[in-house]
Amino acid sequence: MLKKRIIPCLDIKNGRTVKGVNFVDIRDAGDPIELAKRYVQEGADELVFLDITATIEKRKTLVKLVRKIALEINIPFTVGGGINTIDDVAAIIEAGADKISINSAAVKRPEFITEIANNYGSQCVVLAIDTKYINSDWFVYTHGGRNYTPQKTAEWAKKAENIGAGEILLTSMNHDGTKNGFAVELTNNIANIVNIPVIASGGAGTEKHFVDIFKNSKASAALAASIFHFGEIPIPRLKKYLFENKIAIRN
Amino acid sequence: MIAIIKYNAGNFTSVKNAVERLGVEYIISDKKEEILEADKVIFPGVGEAGTAMKYLKERKLDVLIKNLKQPVLGICLGLQLMCKHSEEGDTKCLGIFDTEVRKFPDIKIVPHTGWNNFTSVKGNLFEKIKTTNDVYFVHSYYADICQNTIAVCDYIKPFSAAIQKNNFFATQFHPEKSADVGEQILRNFIQFT
């Protein structure tokens, strides 16, 4: 049976792991490689690295980091954060990343999704959507959640699938950082209209939240950051809890 | 020495890294002499069947691969290219395994992405591996079960998770991305003589 995936996300700034609460107020969470290795040992099913560095030197350091990560870990990993051009993608894939996550660049230029899919396959393209519920609908935000767009989330997700996205990483900004649980209804709506895997993100605070998202939505995976970084929920304990609650997970 | 076949459908970085972690010497090559000389050959692949076959043919790597005598391990698209024919781009493949590659029907999420286990495990490629162990899959096409199937995975329908015929081994999943279980499978392959 295909298992539900648990994905720790590491936000990287200047080569260190950090985690923002509600996209601001950044705390330092340590060396990304050490953290990544720990997660692999603990049973993480996949890893996501999001680079939030905003300097010109960024790409060089990121590629170097990706190369080191690829040497050390033996599970799939995704790299994202400010990836704008097919050259950025090529450099990161050649360094050993399995998937690329794109967000603002895809909103600005949807053909970018198709370009990556044509060059590296759809399985390589993770479309990250940051979304917020306002005026009785979910809208897409870009630039780390700073910029509103009039694009409705459901329409964007469907369009992205049609033009080559292989997975959707769906973050509810209303839930992110709150630790009050994932956006179950939103995730289920999106997972019902696309036929590619949806990764639920934002709001994980307890083990029960993971059971909720997997029991009440068709999410293929759930992503979280701070609860793993600061040891609030060790992955082995989470997986034991999911197993006891009859969620199919990798042991 | 292991030769990893270099062609246009390889994200061979991950395979190279996995072999490196096992401490085995390797070369990445598309040169006939180098590949023939290697003790073992890995035929990786991520990409589209039609373009990959075209590239292999142009360089006569298709004939070379089919006639290899040492243990060969195809991975993912590598497995599919070792079959008879693929629905992807209606492509005639190498024909090492007498089976057909088809596209998953869209009745569930496609591609089949993530960790899954397999049953009906045969042969020493899977020594020390249990049917409860999970490995990492990501594919939209699958190989039908045939007489050479040595592991069966069930997603939408049962398909070949691994195939073996004589010295030719192949896995639909990615051992190089399948944590300790994948590492054990690669180690088993490397120890073949």
Q: Any alpha helices (H) in A27-170, and if so which ranges?
A: 32-42, 58-72, 86-94, 104-108, 111-120, 153-162
How many residues comprise chain A? 251
Note if B146 is an active site residue: no
Domain ranges (residues) in chain B:
2-190
Task: Of B47-56, B95-104, B147-156, B172-181, give the lowest mean pLDDT range.
Answer: B47-56
Selecting from B111, B114, B179 the residue whose C-beta is nearest the C-beta of A3 gives B114
**Percent with pLDDT over 90 in chain B:** 88
Mean pLDDT of A157-161: 98
A196 close to B (CB below 8 A): yes
pLDDT at residue A131 in the model? 98
Classify the phi-psi angles of B89: left when phi > 0, otherwise alpha if psi is within -120 to 50, otherwise beta.
Answer: left
Domain ranges (residues) in chain A:
5-244
Q: In this complex, do B177 and A74 lie within 8 Å of one another by their Cβ atoms?
A: yes
User: Is the pLDDT reported for residue A148 higher than 80?
Assistant: yes
Burial (CB count within 10 angstroms: exposed 0-12, middle 13-18, buried 19+), residue B23: exposed
User: For residue B59, what pLDDT band results from cuts at 50, 70 and 90?
Assistant: very high
| Tokens coding B43 | 């035929």
Q: For B76-90, how does the pLDDT look when each residue is reduced to its tens digit (9 = 90+)? A: 999 999 999 999 999
Question: Yes or no: is domain B2-190 CATH 3.40.50.880?
Answer: yes
How far is A66 from A155, CA to CA, in rounded Å?
Answer: 32
Q: For A97-130, how does the pLDDT look when each residue is reduced to its tens digit (9 = 90+)? A: 999 999 999 999 999 999 999 888 889 999 999 9
Task: Of A18-32, A130-144, A181-195, give the lowest mean pLDDT range.
Answer: A18-32
Q: DSSP label at A122?
A: G
Selecting from A45, A98, A167 the residue whose C-beta is nearest the C-beta of B115 gives A45
Q: H-helix or E-strand containing B183?
A: helix B179-190
What is the ipTM for the molecules in this complex?
0.93
Class of domain A5-244: alpha beta
